[in-house]
Amino acid sequence: MLFPTGIFAIFLAVVFAVHWTLVRHAPGLVRHFLLCASLAFYAFWSATFCVALVVVGLFAWGIGLLAAQGRGTGWLRAGIAGALAWLFWFKYAGFAQREVASALALLGIDAPAALEVLLPVGVSFYVFQAISYMVDVHRGHADAARDPVDVLAYLTFFPHIAAGPIVRAAHFLPQLATPPDARRVPCAMALLLVAGGLFKKMVVANELATGAVDPVFRDPSAHGAADVLLAAYGYTVQIWCDFSGYSDMAIGVAALLGYHFPRNFDQPFRATSLAEFWRRWHVSLSSWLRDYLYVPLGGNRGGRLRTARNLLLTMVLGGIWHGANWTFLCWGALHGAALAAERLVPGLRTPPSSAAAAILRWAITFHVVVACFVLFRAPDLATAGAMAARLLDWATPAETSTIRLVLLAGLGIGLHFLPGDARLRIERLLAGLHPLALGALAGCAAVLVLAAAPEGVAPFIYFQF
Amino acid sequence: MRQPWLRQAGDANGAGAPPDDFSPRSATIPVRRAALALAAALLLLAAGRSEAILDAAYGLPVAPGTEAAIAAAEAWNGALGELGVPGAMRRLRGLLSTGR
């Protein structure tokens, strides 16, 4: 079930009505209802994987109970290993077998046919949240849940199950423990986030994908430099609009039900350094990697070279978290190397001294990000190489580059330079409206967005991760 | 009972996280008024998408209730058709696809 569909609108209306009725009349059943609704939401993709999701949740709950009893770190290590083994099986087993088969083929040895493992939607997200639960309980940041329903409701909560944001156990479990206040629903903010997310996903991301990005990445050799450039910039804007649009909708839907998710994107393309970019991009993942991987590895303690190693390792693991492909590994390694270089090169850690220096740093940062996203989007390294090679071909006429697509890509970048509090200002204007007027505005905005969008609803990019 | 955005909730992603969407300044309303807003939004959405709803109803698998769903979708689209909504939506869609 995708957010921008009629079936989800019906689902949300029913969940909204039942949830708030339970909050008022039977608050003890709210968590049970959220769990049932979330499992029903997930079952639209696969009932089998729904059972698997529950198994992971019960596993994390059990480890949490053992970790809370202070029995050393053995159970925690076992829990993390178990969760990562689950992730590895679904995401990397087929890849590993294919790579081994390729190596054996070079030696003239026949290997058995590669496994075709179906990837459950959101597996990377719920596994990371399961790890967050176990570690937070071990560290004492969250109380171990006595009732497995709490952990299951946390892991499966439908706004974030498919593609995040990754919500920490220490942040979400206390919200489940105390039912939300029915007198205080941040309705204007929620509807604004949902409508804005819908626009980013349906209009900008979907049109750039079908018009500028997919045709070029499918066959770079058929396109010239202008098309390749638009595809590279277009994909950078597409993935931001797709993913931040999903995050905005998730945050808005959760807010309508009275739950808080942290912000996941903060105008990332206005960053003037890679370090700043990662403080603004997919914040829930980058901060997860920082707190659960980079810091335990030693962080920036132990000298410059050790810091650089930790950065590189964290980003490579962050890259392959996205999937089993050399392109993701290279994407993470490039980001890690660039982050390490920023720390090692004198002068790059201080703020730019002039406007010209700030613009130069922004341009360099942005283009490193764009180049890395070409690797991220390419199905293999050969395609990424072909994209780079076609940048020299200015003789082939542009086929996909239309003014509309260029304007959409420009709009996606331009949105980053709006004042940081622009949404808050609009929210304040909307907050004074009568609820019927507010709803009518939101409905009209959604109708306009869907009228401007290409036909159909493409899946969100991060559903595959 | 509390909602976390009524206090500063900027540490949800740990130290140094970006500013949150929620703050104590976020405007809130009682859930009944929120339900009214949501109902109005969904009603307008259903009006603007009446043809898509009808298409979706025609695509439903044969099962108990499908006939009723199709009849309801036809009635809804027919009522809006008398107001000229589907035609206006088609023209709007054509206008917004200029340059595609």
**Is any Cβ of chain A less than 8 angstroms from the Cβ of B88?**
no
Mutate to test the interface with A, among B38, B51, B53 (most CBs of A within 10 A): B38
- Tell me the pLDDT tens digit for each residue of A413-447: 999 999 988 888 898 889 889 999 999 999 999 99
**Is any Cβ of chain A less than 8 angstroms from the Cβ of B41?**
yes
Angle of the B85-96 helix axis to the B31-48 helix axis, nearest 10: 80
User: Which of A53-62, A85-94, A326-335, B19-28 is predicted least confidently?
Assistant: B19-28
Distances, alpha carbon A141 to alpha carbons A135, A152, A286, A378, in Å: 8, 18, 19, 40
pLDDT band at A22 (very low <50, low <70, confident <90, very high): very high
Rounded Cα–Cα distance for residues A97 and A228 (Å): 33
| A288-313 mean pLDDT | 88
Spatial CA neighbour of A170 closest among A135, A196, A142, A198: A142
Find, in chain B, the residue whose alpha carbon is nearest to that of A430.
Answer: B27
A76 touches A67 (CB < 8 A) = yes
Find, in chain B, the residue whose alpha carbon is nearest to that of A284.
Answer: B13
What pLDDT is attached to residue B8? 45
Q: Do B38 and A256 touch (CB under 8 A)?
A: yes
Q: Which of A9, A175, A193 sits opposite B42 (nearest CB)?
A: A9
What pLDDT is attached to residue B19? 63
Phi, psi for A290 (deg, rounded to 5): -65, -50
- pLDDT tops 70 at residue A89: yes
**Closest CA–CA distance from residue B24 to any residue of chain A (Å):** 11
Mutate to test the interface with A, among B31, B33, B45 (most CBs of A within 10 A): B31
A268 touches A277 (CB < 8 A) = yes
Q: Do B48 and A447 touch (CB under 8 A)?
A: yes
What pLDDT is attached to residue A76? 86
Rounded Cα–Cα distance for residues A223 and A377 (Å): 17
Q: Which of B13, B35, B92 sits opposite A284 (nearest CB)?
A: B13
Phi, psi for A160 (deg, rounded to 5): -115, 0
User: Which of A155-169, A404-418, A439-453, B80-94 is predicted least confidently?
Assistant: A155-169
| A225-238 mean pLDDT | 95
DSSP bridge pairs for A185:
B29
Rounded Cα–Cα distance for residues A77 and A79 (Å): 5
Tokens linked to A293: 């991987």
**Which residue numbers of A are catalytic?**
322
User: Which of A50-54, A197-201, B5-9, B15-19 is predicted least confidently?
Assistant: B5-9
Q: Do B99 and A171 touch (CB under 8 A)?
A: no
Distances, alpha carbon A132 to alpha carbons A46, A63, A135, A142, A259, in Å: 25, 12, 5, 10, 18
A367 touches A200 (CB < 8 A) = no
Q: Which of A6, A168, A447 sits opposite B12 (nearest CB)?
A: A168
What pLDDT is attached to residue A431? 86
Collapsing DSSP to helix, strand or coil, A248 comes out as: helix
What pLDDT is attached to residue B10? 44
- The model's pTM is 0.89
Residues of A in contact with B9 (CB under 8 A): 260, 262
Q: Do A168 and B6 touch (CB under 8 A)?
A: no
Rounded Cα–Cα distance for residues A428 and B70 (Å): 41
Kindly provide the ipTM of the predicted complex, given to two decimals: 0.83
**Closest CA–CA distance from residue A175 to any residue of chain B (Å):** 7
A127 touches A83 (CB < 8 A) = yes
What pLDDT is attached to residue B16? 55
In chain A, the N- to C-terminal Cα span, in Å, equals: 16
What pLDDT is attached to residue B12? 53
Rounded Cα–Cα distance for residues A10 and A139 (Å): 40
Q: Do A262 and B56 touch (CB under 8 A)?
A: no
Residues belonging to chain A? 465
The helix (run of H) or strand (run of E) holding residue A50 is helix A47-68
A464/A451: higher pLDDT: A451
- Hey, what long-range contacts does A299-305 have (CB within 8 A, 24 or more apart)? A300/A343, A304/A343, A304/A344
Mutate to test the interface with A, among B8, B21, B45 (most CBs of A within 10 A): B21
Mean residue pLDDT across chain B: 82
Rounded Cα–Cα distance for residues A240 and A281 (Å): 9
Rounded Cα–Cα distance for residues A293 and A106 (Å): 36
Distances, alpha carbon A366 to alpha carbons A212, A311, A338, A389, A424, in Å: 19, 20, 12, 20, 26
Q: Which of A66-70, B8-12, B85-89 has the highest mean pLDDT?
A: B85-89
| A337-366 mean pLDDT | 88
Q: Hey, which bits of A282-386 come out as E strands?
A: none
Residue type, position B33, single letter:
R
Those residues whose C-beta lies under 8 Å from the C-beta of residue A453, and which sit 6 or more positions away, are: A202, A203, A206, A207
What pLDDT is attached to residue B13? 53
What pLDDT is attached to residue B2? 44
B19 touches A266 (CB < 8 A) = yes
In the block, tokens 């595609």 appear at B100
**Closest CA–CA distance from residue B63 to any residue of chain A (Å):** 17
**Is any Cβ of chain A less than 8 angstroms from the Cβ of B9?**
yes
Rounded Cα–Cα distance for residues A255 and B5 (Å): 10
Tokens linked to B48: 């603007």
User: Which of A20-24, A175-179, A387-391, B79-83 is predicted least confidently?
Assistant: A175-179
| B27-36 mean pLDDT | 92
Residue type, position B4, single letter:
P
Q: Give one word for A298, left, alpha or beta, with left for phi > 0 and alpha for psi -120 to 50.
A: left
Q: How far is CA A384 from the centre of its chain?
A: 22
Q: Which of A14-18, A23-27, A209-213, B56-60 has the highest mean pLDDT?
A: A14-18
